[in-house]
Amino acid sequence: MIRLRRLLTITRVALRYRLDKLLPEDMMPWGLWLLMNLTPLRLWPEPKMSRGERLRRSLEDLGPVFIKFGQLLSTRRDLLFPDIADELALLQDRVPPFSSALAKATIEASLGAPVEEVFASFDTEPMASASIAQVHAATLKGGEDVVVKVVRPGIERIIASDMKLLYTLAGIAQRFLRDGKRMRPVEVVEDYEHTIFDELDLQREAANTSQLRRNFDNSHLLYIPQVYWDYTRHNVMVMERIYAIPVTDVKQLTAQGTNMKLLAERGVEIFFTQLFRDNFFHADMHPGNIFVSREHPEDPQYMGIDCAIIGSLTDFDRYYLARNLLAIFNRDYRLVADLHIECGWVPSYTKAHEFEAAIRSVCEPIFQKPLGEISFGHLLIYLFNTARRFEMEVQPSLVLLQKTLLNIEGLGRELYPELDLWTTAKPFLEDWIKQRYSPKSVLKEMQKRAPGWLEQLPKVPDQLLNALTQPPFTGRDESTSRLAALEAKLAATKRQQRGLWVLGLGLGALLLNASENLSFDGQSLVYLAVGAVLALLIRG
């Protein structure tokens, strides 16, 4: 009954804004076309608004879950018309607050004590209210100013109900719209479901916040507030209150003499540091979550909140992404094509010269502009769209990356319109690849893995013995294959002996050289012994 009532509400809002008119007639399912053109519904007046504004207003009317979904859709410019994506990007995650009595009851139930016992003061008027939670100012008994984030009561039930409807609508769209399969609405809803349910767990957000704070400890680039774990639960989080300037308040930033060029460039530096140094990036860096410290305006520092959504890539993808970006910088389109095939982003049977030509046709017109006018984020979107024609499946982590980069670039150019993201990013990428795969870094990685190798060392003799005594399989009968099997076994044994002998000596030498001081301390002797034992086992 609840789902039916909700479906009727959605239908009423869709009619009020005539959302059916947003679909080209050749994309409209025949049943919907009949309903809207052969019934009195066609007489329903069409609002005097752009199609993007009508969609945005309808999502706002449908409430928090749909507002959040619209925000996610605004990041998928590969699936939307540009004017609709721009309008959805204006969605503000502001909804009416729930009562302070309900907020206090939630806090007391979670912390097991009255609010007056936990806090020296608690402001019943919320500082901000969003789809998932709202925030109250408070002071701890020790005098620390904090903010208390409380999940909206009953939101889980609302989300679960609305998610079922979203899946139903996405399934209909995917099945009946002509372009439904390309738009993959069910996949979009799945991504949204993971995102929104992760945001419901404030302990998860607190853990992300603590990790990001640790990554930028004592950094002049970014400050992350402290989490007070004693007062944090799955639906309540207490965090240090920051007093800073919203990054969108350009007037106030300018008035205090902020170095706007440096501020914009540091936003780019923070993003690439999170991605390539830490592989742990804040994936919801819209302006409402970013502030600027009031101290040292000539040496500005960002301050970040709301770490519910965090992105990361595999080492494999980070490496290929960095090389792809540098290849794009250098307009080496053949290398871009080869890298996509080599890393498996497109199928191995993709013809490199055809893919190269498609990439060139997208990138060359863009590169006719000055670098400072080219959107790095939009170029990535065009590249992914081109790759998708060659059956590339874009991973959710890459979509998060693309969304974050668009936010950072847009914010940076709002602060400093002359920002050249390319010039800022290229040296960072070159240095990262150089440091990541320098001999010193490789040796350090081997040293880090040495304990695991030592753990596996006792198993090596048995594994070698099994490998040496395992008879090879042939498709011939026993009488004709015995000699060939013996020859193959001897050849394999010699190859294994040579390879493992080199491996054993190399392991000892590399691990010895990787030690902090190149002297024969206890650790170095252990590593050398590992190589020697392996070598003796192999020779014996």
Question: Could you list the active site residues?
Answer: 284
How many angstroms separate the Cα of 47 from the Cα of each of 20, 55, 501? 12, 11, 78
| Spatial distance between the Cα atoms of 49 and 58, rounded to a whole number of angstroms | 12
**Burial of 30 (C-beta count, 10 Å sphere; 0-12/13-18/19+):** exposed
Question: Hey, how many other C-beta atoms are within 10 angstroms of the C-beta on 230?
Answer: 9
Can you say how many angstroms the Cα of residue 122 is from the centroid of all Cα atoms in its chain?
Answer: 35
Question: Hey, how many other C-beta atoms are within 10 angstroms of the C-beta on 72?
Answer: 18
How many angstroms separate the Cα of 331 from the Cα of each of 154, 318, 319, 336, 364? 52, 20, 18, 9, 8
| Spatial distance between the Cα atoms of 430 and 323, rounded to a whole number of angstroms | 9
| Spatial distance between the Cα atoms of 165 and 156, rounded to a whole number of angstroms | 14
Structural element, H or E, at residue 167: helix 155-176
405 with 376: CB under 8 angstroms?
yes
Question: Hey, how many other C-beta atoms are within 10 angstroms of the C-beta on 388?
Answer: 15
| Spatial distance between the Cα atoms of 167 and 189, rounded to a whole number of angstroms | 7
415 with 250: CB under 8 angstroms?
yes
- Tokens 């709002």 identify what position? 414
In this structure, what DSSP letter does residue 458 have? G
How many angstroms separate the Cα of 84 from the Cα of each of 90, 133, 386, 392, 403? 10, 27, 21, 25, 16
- Tokens 């992105």 identify what position? 311
How many angstroms separate the Cα of 245 from the Cα of each of 124, 148, 256, 340? 23, 20, 10, 42
Query: Taking the alpha carbons of 217, 218, 223, 226 in that order, is the dihedral positive or negative?
Result: positive
Query: Taking the alpha carbons of 211, 215, 218, 223 in that order, is the dihedral positive or negative?
Result: negative
How many angstroms separate the Cα of 334 from the Cα of each of 19, 340, 349, 351, 376? 43, 10, 16, 11, 19
Neighbouring residues of 95: CB distance < 8 A, sequence distance ≥ 6: 63, 64, 67, 129, 130, 131
Which candidate, 71, 56, 32, 75, places its Cα nearest to that of 175? Answer: 32
